[in-house]
Structure 1
Amino acid sequence: MPAGRSIRIFLATGEVTGIRHAELVNWTGQAIVCPRTRLDELTRWNEEVNRPGVYLLVGAEGLSDREVYIGEGEIAFKRVRQHIGTKEFWQEVVIFTSKDENLTKAHVKYLEHRLIQKAKEVGRYKVVNGNDPTETALPRADRAAMEEFLENIEVLLGALGHRVFVPLVASPASPSTTDRFRFSIKGVEAFGAPVDEGLHHLPQLHRVAAKQ
């Protein structure tokens, strides 16, 4: 069973819809979540956002695919502000930086590449980046550290309500007969099994019923 995690979330104004500062206990990383309408308030968060980091511009939920743009910057907040006049879709930004000085430009470029790669693999959100950044060459130890940083970003972002990097739940390897649901219409049968996110389709059991 995976180890448990503890998360601390600070509501800057006491409002759940305002600026939030989030961190995993015993991790040097941190996340700042800010609505687009309150971006100017981030000028008071200099120590958290004016340093190397990666960020996600997240669009609103709707009937079409939810969109996300993933970027990096040596001064993360400066890069985010540059998108105000160029990208209209986003309503919220999540900035990830480190509380120490160990996150460098090379590190955040590596993270940007991996985050875009993983977001596209998962396919929950439509990634609107125009180009795919190349993977930055890092020493083996740095690469391992950034992969751990990446895992923590995924956990924290998911807990904040954005499951950009959470794989779509796979169907149970061997769902029991009692765990299956069956639906049949016009000779076509479909099966599903309950999972954490609801009812998951079991494509391997989908079939067209034989004609009588």
Structure 2
Amino acid sequence: MINSFTKTHVKFLEHTAIKQAIEINRWKLDNSSASNLPHVTESMEADLLDCFETNKILLSTLGFPLFEPISRVTVTTKNEGIFMIKSKEIVADGNLIDDGFVVFKGSEAKLNTTPSCHKYLIDLRIFLQEKV
């Protein structure tokens, strides 16, 4: 068990975290250039990976699933739980999942709001665009 972390331990954990985040591709990374994987003994690697897994579970439990892939939705033949929107110009569909809402590939969205759009929706749209 690790009682204190050295620079090597931290570099190993950083490398592991960035590698997993890139593989999962759930988040945009500001720092995607991890240092090379430092050399650690097998027993130390096992301890560090155990520490990483524990932190991964803790973060997920607290509502920050940083290293969890986005749930893939299985579409049923009855279209249960599928939300759809159709207008003159767009068609979009998606599904509510444990992690939030998934918009299906091929869905469309309007680039600009219409005059009838409520202010709270315009504000939400601006907020979401700034987050992406």
TM-score normalised per structure 1: 0.40
Classify 1:193/1:161 alpha carbon distance in 2 versus 1 (closer, same or farther; 3 Å).
closer
Q: Secondary structure at the match of 2:80?
A: helix
Structure 1 consecutive aligned stretches of length 4 or more whose deviation exceeds 6 Å: none
Choose from 57, 66, 73 the match for 1:172: 73
Structure 2 residue identity aligned to 1:145: D
Instruction: Tell me the distance in 1 between the aligned counterparts of 2:53 and 2:15.
Output: 14
Q: CA separation in 1, counterparts of 2:32 and 2:91?
A: 40
Q: How does 1:74-113 map to 2 (within 5 A)?
A: 98=2, 100-101=3-4, 103-113=5-15
- Residue 88 (structure 2) pairs with residue 198 (structure 1): no
Structure having the higher strand fraction is 1
TM-score normalised per structure 2 = 0.58
The structure with the largest helix share of the pair is 2
Contact residue 179 and residue 193 of structure 1 kept, 8 A: yes
Give the match's secondary structure for 1:193.
strand
For structure 2, which runs of at least 5 residues remain unmatched after alignment? 109-132
Q: Which amino acid aligns with 1:157?
A: L
Calculate the aligned-residue CA RMSD, in Å.
3.1
After superposition, the C-alpha distances for 1:7-50 in whole angstroms (9 at most, x for unaligned) are xxxxxxxxxxxxxxxxxxxxx6xxxxxxxxxxxxxxxxxxxxxx
Residue in structure 1 matched with residue 122 of structure 2 by the alignment: none
Paired positions, count: 107
Of residues 20, 29, 47, the one that matches 1:127 is: 29
Residue aligning to 2:60: 158
Residue aligning to 1:147: 49
Q: What is the deviation of 1:111?
A: 0.8
Identity %: 26
Partners of 1:190 and 1:126 lie apart in 2 by 24
| Structure 1 residues without counterparts, runs of 5 or longer | 1-27, 29-97
Deviation at 1:201, TM superposition (A): 1.5
With over 3 angstroms needed to count, the CA separation of the structure-2 counterparts of 1:186 and 1:147, relative to structure 1, is: farther
Measured after TM superposition, the shift of residue 196 of structure 1 is: 0.9
